[in-house]
Copies of this chain bind each other. A is one copy, B any other.
Amino acid sequence: MKVVHTKKGAREIINGWKSKGQTIGFVPTMGYFHKGHLSLMELAKRKADKVVISIFVNPTQFGPNEDYEKYPRDIERDLELARGIGVDMVFAPKKEEMYPEETKTWVQVEEITENLCGRSRPGHFRGVATVVAKLFNIILPDIAVFGQKDFQQIQVIKQMVKDLDFPVKIVMAPIIREKDGLAMSSRNTYLSNEERKSALCLFKALELSKRLVMEEGISEVATLKERIREFIQGFPYTKIDYIFIGDPENLKERERVELPLLVALAVYVGDTRLIDNMLIEG
């Protein structure tokens, strides 16, 4: 497994593979790997000749009061895990390599970024789209794999790829969960033991939503939302950031329940903001 820290180094290796006609599968990450990340790498491995991952905690997607500084990092452990999967190259640039000076160019995706995390975290998706555009231009992947847990992120990237004609196929991988159902996240490490118990409210609320739609046949989104709100509020240490119930394609809210339906949640458990989502299909 090759580990490179510069764009130039990455490009030399990539060009060598491309000149032999080998396809590149790419998984951009912020590191501190859990099984979710590893599942993305495995999927990339099945779909391309070479697997490249990036490890970069991207400052431009964090707000001024967010957890950029304290975001967990453990590059040595990450490299060990990537090696175990059979990753071919890790691109792990420093901040100064990716942003030698303050960027003046932004990739801005409109409409689809208005709700959910786009509303709670202004500038977040501008930072995400911009760094992913940069990474695509450095790695030149044939396919790129993203996890469903960041559902809005993958829709933003798909929109960007379509609108800007990036020659990349975007693949969505399913959410990987702990045994009890908590969606895997590097941020779970912030949780105390008591908070960890409450964190399960997200997954349980999603299961409840599915039951209410599929078994009880609730038809008003407002009613569904109220039931979910009450349910989550029953868990200690929780504070709801948003409950989104709407169209999975354009991420607009709906008034009436129609399938397919996206239920997406962001909940603070203590100081830790967690997200999760479920697609309710036919």
Q: How far is the CB of A273 from chain B (nearest CB, A)?
A: 26
From residue 91 to 143 of chain A, which have CB atoms closer than 8 A to chain B? Answer: 103-112, 129-130, 133-134, 137-138, 140
Distance of A137 Cα from B11 Cα, bound (Å): 17
Q: Is A7 an interface residue (CB 8 A)?
A: yes
CB contact under 8 A between A137 and B165, given known A19-B21, A21-B19: yes
Which residue from chain B places its CB closest to the CB of A19 in the assembled complex?
A: B21
Distance of A165 Cα from B134 Cα, bound (Å): 5
Q: Among A107, A111, A140, A166, which residue has the most Cβ atoms of chain B within 10 A?
A: A107
Q: Is A163 an interface residue (CB 8 A)?
A: yes
Q: Is A86 an interface residue (CB 8 A)?
A: no
Q: How far is the CB of A129 from chain B (nearest CB, A)?
A: 7
Which residue from chain B places its CB closest to the CB of A156 in the assembled complex?
A: B105
Q: Is A159 an interface residue (CB 8 A)?
A: yes
Query: Which of chain B's residues have a CB closer than 8 A to the CB of A140?
Result: 167
Tally of this chain's copies: 2
From residue 135 to 189 of chain A, which have CB atoms closer than 8 A to chain B? Answer: 137-138, 140, 159-160, 162-167
Which residue from chain B places its CB closest to the CB of A100 in the assembled complex?
A: B162
A164 and B105 contacting across the interface, CB-CB below 8 Å: yes
Total interface residues on A, using CB and 8 Å? 29
B105 and A159 contacting across the interface, CB-CB below 8 Å: yes
Which residue from chain B places its CB closest to the CB of A108 in the assembled complex?
A: B106
Q: How far is the CB of A169 from chain B (nearest CB, A)?
A: 13
Q: How far is the CB of A197 from chain B (nearest CB, A)?
A: 40
Query: Which of chain B's residues have a CB closer than 8 A to the CB of A11?
Result: 167
B7 and A163 contacting across the interface, CB-CB below 8 Å: no
Q: How far is the CB of A102 from chain B (nearest CB, A)?
A: 9
Distance of A108 Cα from B134 Cα, bound (Å): 14
A164 and B108 contacting across the interface, CB-CB below 8 Å: no
Q: How far is the CB of A119 from chain B (nearest CB, A)?
A: 16
A167 and B106 contacting across the interface, CB-CB below 8 Å: no
Distance of A167 Cα from B14 Cα, bound (Å): 12
Query: Which of chain B's residues have a CB closer than 8 A to the CB of A110?
Result: 104-106
Query: Which of chain B's residues have a CB closer than 8 A to the CB of A112?
Result: 104
Q: How far is the CB of A112 from chain B (nearest CB, A)?
A: 7
B159 and A7 contacting across the interface, CB-CB below 8 Å: no
B104 and A111 contacting across the interface, CB-CB below 8 Å: yes
A-B interface, 10 closest residue pairs, ranked by CB to CB distance from nearest = A105-B163, A137-B165, A134-B165, A103-B163, A104-B110, A105-B109, A105-B160, A106-B108, A137-B166, A104-B111
